[in-house]
Chains A and B, each alone.
Chain A
Amino acid sequence: MTLARDDLAVASTAKPARWSFDAKALIAAPGLIFMGLAFAVPVLMLIGDSFVDRDGLSLAGYRKVLGDPYYIGIIGNSLQLACITTAVCLAVGYPAAWALARIRGVWQVILFALIFLPLTVSIVVKTFGLTIMMRRDGIINFLLVNLGFIERPMRLVFTEFSLYFGMVNVFLPFMILPLYSVMRMLDPRLLDASASLGAGPVHTFLRVTLPLTMPGVIAGGTLVFSISVAAYVTPGLLVGDRFMTMSQVMAKAYLNIRDFQLGASMAVIMLVISAALILASSYLVRTPGGERR
């Protein structure tokens, strides 16, 4: 199984790569052409922009981003945001995906709806909804005060707590889906076999369940990390300028200060981080830590 490598796909039956031409590949042509025009060309232009200023070729953009503690701090912010979001999504999503893969009948439908219906709501709407809930006169403060946990409403919006809360809210389904698809393929008899051989639940989890679901952990982790490191809307709405991320710097560089080289350099650095992560994860899936086949 090479899940992460198959573009975080749901599929699990891997076939050895063959290099003879298969006409079926032509079916992918419209998608490939579109992605070429809509993704590859702009990315190449962006990379070009990052090496050019008004006077021609220059590394000023990178020197600025990588030499200024302010921007380093922002890269750090983004990495911290992505790491914590990914970790919390994994901790919350792993048991949820397990339940989803093991449960049957009407409860599975209900769980599915609970987990995936939020995907149909726009991020902006969801995030605004959260800010309404977290206001001083919002429902959370109302409950906390009236239940006697706190004396007066506390500030929730524009705190890092609200940021992580909102990020997990938005990105959790992206962790659960790849985990679920791997767990669904896990033969429950392997767990029975483990128990019959004298292994307790912890041993079974560490030696059977976790190694066999590792492709899902890596795929989900890679997916959530790479989209949350680039998050723009949620941090912007929930903490604003108090917690600057790489995406916000890019937006400001392009829209406000109109320093295209700065924005492009920041974008390329983010691209490198994500690409490195995806490469590393596809390597991990194929080494003994992941799955050996």
Chain B
Amino acid sequence: MSQQATALPPEAEAQHEPGYLAVSNVTKRFGAATVLDSLSLSVGRAEFVSLLGPSGCGKTTLLRLIAGLLAPDQGAIEVGGRDLTRVAAHRRNIGVVFQNYALFPHLTVAENIAYGLRAKGVPKAEQAKKVADALGLVRMEAFADRAVTALSGGQQQRIAVARAVVVEPSLLLLDEPFSALDRKLRETMQIELRHILRDLGITSIFVTHDQDEALVMSDRIAVMNEGRIEHLGTPSEVYARPKSLYTMEFVGQSSRIGGVVTGGRDGLVEIDTPFGLIRAPGHFLSGSKVVVGVRPEAIAAGEGPAGEYNTVRGTVAEVIYFGSRTLLHFRTAQDDDRLHVELNRLPDTVSPGVEMTVRWRVDDSRVFPAPAGDDR
């Protein structure tokens, strides 16, 4: 699996000079709780990397450590070859866009953007020009003299971005910057921000708990769990070839089927599950407890050729209609394990209680060791 992952270098990655941001073995504890556990992360120049994980996974702590707003207990942080571990936040030249934007309420839009330039002693005339350019970049020229408190969420967001990039930071950190926006606006801003940052060539670290946001925006995604990076890869790697059950379940929808390995050959294992015998790529000892994960869109109605496909029979438990697609919950008679099946076109016969057959390619099955304490 890992061979496959490295065999797919996206064009984007090739042009990023690697190791521009290097986080090495960083540990951070708060009292007895270890929030980051010897975490390492390497980000290329001009790359856009998302830290994706649920609240409490340590992603915001990592961001604050990189920004210098927290000090690590162990480990080192370098940007562009310069060791910043013991450098104060205001000497790092790392920009931050905060979740609530953190605009200065006593300053106008232009004064907010000029703040960093002024702190760095940029001459007045140059300040004015840069502020005007930054306002143009986020298409907010008309708002220069407004009070920031009079702006809408999306407008405040643009000003926060302009304020952070106008000082030409060596790295830009974004802490869930879209979480306060409604969905439509969020989608527009995601694309727009991505364009701005790509044009400026700014290396960016983006913290989010929203998997869709991470998939849409990132060059690479670091899926985080309990202070560690579970999987670092391109969006398509993370989605299609997750390295762990956690990544598979956190990013996108999936079905999990518990079972016991009964044998294997040629890089395939056979697994006894409540849905019958399932085959999947992998290497496990016979008798191992495993979990098979399948993406809903990989599953189709009807039977398939036995060699290439897993075919199971069961009952439709629920039909969930999304407009462009339909999700079925599909289960066997004797067990509660459910398959989530996604269909673009719903056969007329399908309704709850109906028996049907579904299939998916053996290659689309991912096998993971069953988590400890999981009896399913």
B partners with A: yes
| Interface residues in chain A, defined as those with a beta carbon under 8 Å from any beta carbon in chain B | 187, 189-190, 192-201, 203-204, 207-208, 211-212, 291-293
3 A-B pairs with least C-beta separation: A197-B116, A199-B119, A195-B89
Determine if B102 and A198 form an interchain contact, defined as CB atoms under 8 angstroms apart. Answer: no
Determine if A293 and B105 form an interchain contact, defined as CB atoms under 8 angstroms apart. Answer: yes
Q: Specify which of B69, B115, B167, B173 is in contact with A207 (CB 8 Å cutoff).
A: B115
B95 at the binding interface (Cβ < 8 Å):
yes
Chain B residues lying within 8 Å of A200, measured Cβ to Cβ, are: 88, 90, 119
B120 at the binding interface (Cβ < 8 Å):
yes
Shortest Cβ distance from residue A182 to the other chain B in the assembled complex, whole angstroms: 12
B106 at the binding interface (Cβ < 8 Å):
yes
Q: Which of B49-84 contact A (CB under 8 A)?
A: 67-69
C-alpha spacing A201/B98, complex, angstroms: 19
Chain B residues lying within 8 Å of A207, measured Cβ to Cβ, are: 115, 119
Determine if B147 and A293 form an interchain contact, defined as CB atoms under 8 angstroms apart. Answer: yes
Q: Specify which of A187, A192, A198 is in contact with B116 (CB 8 Å cutoff).
A: A198
B149 at the binding interface (Cβ < 8 Å):
yes
Shortest Cβ distance from residue A213 to the other chain B in the assembled complex, whole angstroms: 10
Chain A residues lying within 8 Å of B163, measured Cβ to Cβ, are: 197
A-B contact pairs, 9 of them (CB 8 A): A195-B68, A195-B89, A196-B94, A198-B90, A200-B90, A207-B119, A212-B105, A291-B105, A293-B105
Determine if A192 and B69 form an interchain contact, defined as CB atoms under 8 angstroms apart. Answer: yes
C-alpha spacing A208/B107, complex, angstroms: 9
The count of A-to-B residue pairs whose CB atoms sit within 8 angstroms is 77
B104 at the binding interface (Cβ < 8 Å):
yes
Chain B residues lying within 8 Å of A196, measured Cβ to Cβ, are: 67, 69, 89-90, 92, 94-96, 164, 173
C-alpha spacing A190/B148, complex, angstroms: 13
Chain B residues lying within 8 Å of A292, measured Cβ to Cβ, are: 106, 147
**Contact flag A190-B116 (CB < 8 Å), given A195-B69, A195-B90, A196-B96:** no
Chain A residues lying within 8 Å of B89, measured Cβ to Cβ, are: 192, 195-196
Determine if B104 and A208 form an interchain contact, defined as CB atoms under 8 angstroms apart. Answer: yes
Chain A residues lying within 8 Å of B106, measured Cβ to Cβ, are: 211-212, 291-292
Determine if A190 and B104 form an interchain contact, defined as CB atoms under 8 angstroms apart. Answer: yes
Determine if B119 and A193 form an interchain contact, defined as CB atoms under 8 angstroms apart. Answer: no
B190 at the binding interface (Cβ < 8 Å):
no
B93 at the binding interface (Cβ < 8 Å):
yes
12 extra A-B contacts, CB within 8 A, seeds A187-B102, A207-B115: A190-B102, A193-B102, A194-B104, A195-B68, A197-B164, A198-B91, A199-B119, A291-B105, A291-B106, A292-B147, A293-B105, A293-B149
Q: Specify which of B67, B93, B104 is in contact with A198 (CB 8 Å cutoff).
A: B93
C-alpha spacing A185/B96, complex, angstroms: 21
Chain A residues lying within 8 Å of B88, measured Cβ to Cβ, are: 195, 200
Q: Return the chain A residue nearest B96 by Cβ.
A: A196
Q: Is the interface of A mostly helix, strand, loop or mixed?
A: helix
**Contact flag A197-B102 (CB < 8 Å), given A192-B67, A207-B115:** no
B262 at the binding interface (Cβ < 8 Å):
no
Q: Which of B119-161 contact A (CB under 8 A)?
A: 119-120, 147, 149
**Contact flag A193-B105 (CB < 8 Å), given A199-B115, A199-B119:** no
C-alpha spacing A203/B120, complex, angstroms: 10
Chain B residues lying within 8 Å of A190, measured Cβ to Cβ, are: 102, 104
Chain A residues lying within 8 Å of B99, measured Cβ to Cβ, are: 189
Chain B residues lying within 8 Å of A208, measured Cβ to Cβ, are: 104
Determine if A198 and B167 form an interchain contact, defined as CB atoms under 8 angstroms apart. Answer: yes
Determine if A187 and B100 form an interchain contact, defined as CB atoms under 8 angstroms apart. Answer: yes
Q: Specify which of A192, A204, A293 is in contact with B102 (CB 8 Å cutoff).
A: A192
Determine if A199 and B100 form an interchain contact, defined as CB atoms under 8 angstroms apart. Answer: no
Determine if A194 and B115 form an interchain contact, defined as CB atoms under 8 angstroms apart. Answer: yes
C-alpha spacing A30/B275, complex, angstroms: 76
Shortest Cβ distance from residue B62 to the other chain A in the assembled complex, whole angstroms: 15
Candidate in A197, A201, A208 with the most chain B CB atoms within 10 angstroms: A197
Determine if A197 and B119 form an interchain contact, defined as CB atoms under 8 angstroms apart. Answer: yes
Q: Return the chain B residue nearest A186 by Cβ.
A: B105
C-alpha spacing A210/B185, complex, angstroms: 35
Determine if A189 and B102 form an interchain contact, defined as CB atoms under 8 angstroms apart. Answer: yes
Shortest Cβ distance from residue A169 to the other chain B in the assembled complex, whole angstroms: 34
Chain A residues lying within 8 Å of B103, measured Cβ to Cβ, are: 193
Q: Specify which of A197, A203, A291 is in contact with B95 (CB 8 Å cutoff).
A: A197
Determine if A199 and B67 form an interchain contact, defined as CB atoms under 8 angstroms apart. Answer: no
Q: Flag B267-297 by CB within 8 Å of A: 1 or 0 each.
A: 0000000000000000000000000000000
Shortest Cβ distance from residue A185 to the other chain B in the assembled complex, whole angstroms: 10
C-alpha spacing A62/B98, complex, angstroms: 60
Candidate in B69, B94, B173 with the most chain A CB atoms within 10 angstroms: B69
Chain B residues lying within 8 Å of A195, measured Cβ to Cβ, are: 68-69, 88-90
Shortest Cβ distance from residue B188 to the other chain A in the assembled complex, whole angstroms: 24
Chain B residues lying within 8 Å of A194, measured Cβ to Cβ, are: 90, 104, 115, 119
C-alpha spacing A81/B144, complex, angstroms: 46
Q: Flag B37-52 by CB within 8 Å of A: 1 or 0 each.
A: 0000000000000000
Chain A residues lying within 8 Å of B102, measured Cβ to Cβ, are: 187, 189-190, 192-193
Shortest Cβ distance from residue B147 to the other chain A in the assembled complex, whole angstroms: 6
C-alpha spacing A291/B148, complex, angstroms: 13
Q: Return the chain B residue nearest A189 by Cβ.
A: B102
Shortest Cβ distance from residue B66 to the other chain A in the assembled complex, whole angstroms: 11
Q: Return the chain A residue nearest B175 by Cβ.
A: A189
Shortest Cβ distance from residue A195 to the other chain B in the assembled complex, whole angstroms: 4
Shortest Cβ distance from residue A33 to the other chain B in the assembled complex, whole angstroms: 38
C-alpha spacing A193/B112, complex, angstroms: 11
C-alpha spacing A211/B120, complex, angstroms: 20
Shortest Cβ distance from residue A183 to the other chain B in the assembled complex, whole angstroms: 14
Shortest Cβ distance from residue A197 to the other chain B in the assembled complex, whole angstroms: 3
